[in-house]
């Protein structure tokens, strides 16, 4: 079977062991595939590996040999699953490969902002320590996480791992999740949305993007939060109304936000949030530790092998 990976770079820019995928006799990978290149590159493909390359109804219609689409991610909205099923094409995804990577990134953002490590490193190298009369100095101190309240919107695998780390720091954790009666650990309290907005010192988003959660962070919800709250989003850029957030950041200099996702990726060159000094942005990389990407690659291989054995796994359609 001919296998084509349309946007292989993000999963493996060259630092992973991909001998398993390369062992397939007819495997071809492209770092990135533009829309106009999808058909020429995939016209003979039996199996396609995609992460963000879109396979909509019209594109699927033009691929006569296609039998299996393996999404190298948990989210599979890049594929028209109904159109695929109508053609008898199986679609599988890979889930739970980045739980520890994302949770670690959440706390790297928290600790970076709370301790201002980069700021103080620049200060020392600029000579401020050498010029100091004291063995230690502060340009705005930091506070401990112990006793602080971490709020989580959503309670999936990543949020649960964040809870575990928060417990080690001695934090209080409150969660808003549709299932109020779910089993929560002793150090986790279920709260309403309004309680979540108003009571947490740090708010981290871990909900799927739905019509109910799109732009859930907007003027009305931001105004309910503490003036010195830290907002973290490693979930979906669509959760945030970015113009409302930019205005809130300008009006509330002690309110900080750390984002790993934006509403459009890659973002425009002069994004509205770039001018906010209390906004920190990483390029959608929370998921991408080397270990997480290797787990993802292994999961793609396992999905393909299961399909070839006519016993497909992780089927989403």
Catalytic residues: 236, 265, 284
C-alpha span between 24 and 65 (Å, rounded): 17
| Cα distances (angstroms) measured from residue 193 to each of 199, 203, 242, 271 | 10, 12, 20, 29
SS3 state of residue 166: helix
**Peptide linkage before 266 cis (omega within 30 of 0):** yes
Helix (H) or strand (E) holding 255: none
Query: Which phi and psi (to 5°) does residue 154 adopt?
Result: 105, 155
Helix (H) or strand (E) holding 293: helix 290-308
Phi-psi map region of 60: left, alpha, beta (phi>0 left; psi -120 to 50 alpha)? alpha
Nearest to 123 by CA among 144, 140, 110: 140
Question: H/E/C letters for each residue in 56-97?
Answer: CHHHHHCCCCCCEEEECCCCCCCECHHHHHHCCCEEECCCCC
Nearby residues of 95 by Cβ (< 8 Å), 6 or more positions away? 74, 314
């Amino acid at each position: 079977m001919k296998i084509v990976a349309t946007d292989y770079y993000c999963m493996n820019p060259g630092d992973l062991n991909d001998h398993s995928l390369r062992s397939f006799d007819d495997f071809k990978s492209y770092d990135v595939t533009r829309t106009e290149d999808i058909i020429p590159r995939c016209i003979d493909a039996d199996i396609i590996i995609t992460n963000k390359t879109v396979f909509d109804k019209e594109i699927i219609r033009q691929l006569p040999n296609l039998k299996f689409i393996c999404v190298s991610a948990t989210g599979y909205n890049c594929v028209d699953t109904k159109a695929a099923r109508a053609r008898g094409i199986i679609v599988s995804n890979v889930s739970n490969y980045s739980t520890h990577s994302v949770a670690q990134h959440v706390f790297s953002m928290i600790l970076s902002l709370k301790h201002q490590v980069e700021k103080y490193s620049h200060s020392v190298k600029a000579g401020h320590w050498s010029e100091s009369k004291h063995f230690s100095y502060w340009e705005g101190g930091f506070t401990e996480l112990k006793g602080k309240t971490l709020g989580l919107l959503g309670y999936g695998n990543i949020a649960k791992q964040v809870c575990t780390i928060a417990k080690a720091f001695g934090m209080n954790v409150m969660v808003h999740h549709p299932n109020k009666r779910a089993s929560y650990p002793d150090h986790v309290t279920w709260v309403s949305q309004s309680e979540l907005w108003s009571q947490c010192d740090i708010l981290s988003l871990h909900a799927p993007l739905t019509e109910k959660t799109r732009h859930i962070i907007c003027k009305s919800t931001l105004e309910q939060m503490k003036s010195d709250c830290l907002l973290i989003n490693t979930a979906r850029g669509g959760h945030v109304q970015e113009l409302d957030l930019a205005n809130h950041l300008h009006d509330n200099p002690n309110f900080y936000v750390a984002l790993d996702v934006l509403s459009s990726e890659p973002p425009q060159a002069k994004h509205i949030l770039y001018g906010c000094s209390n906004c920190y942005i990483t390029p959608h990389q929370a998921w991408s530790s080397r270990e997480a990407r290797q787990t993802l690659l292994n999961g793609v291989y396992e999905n393909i092998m299961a399909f070839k054995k006519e016993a497909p796994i992780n089927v989403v359609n």
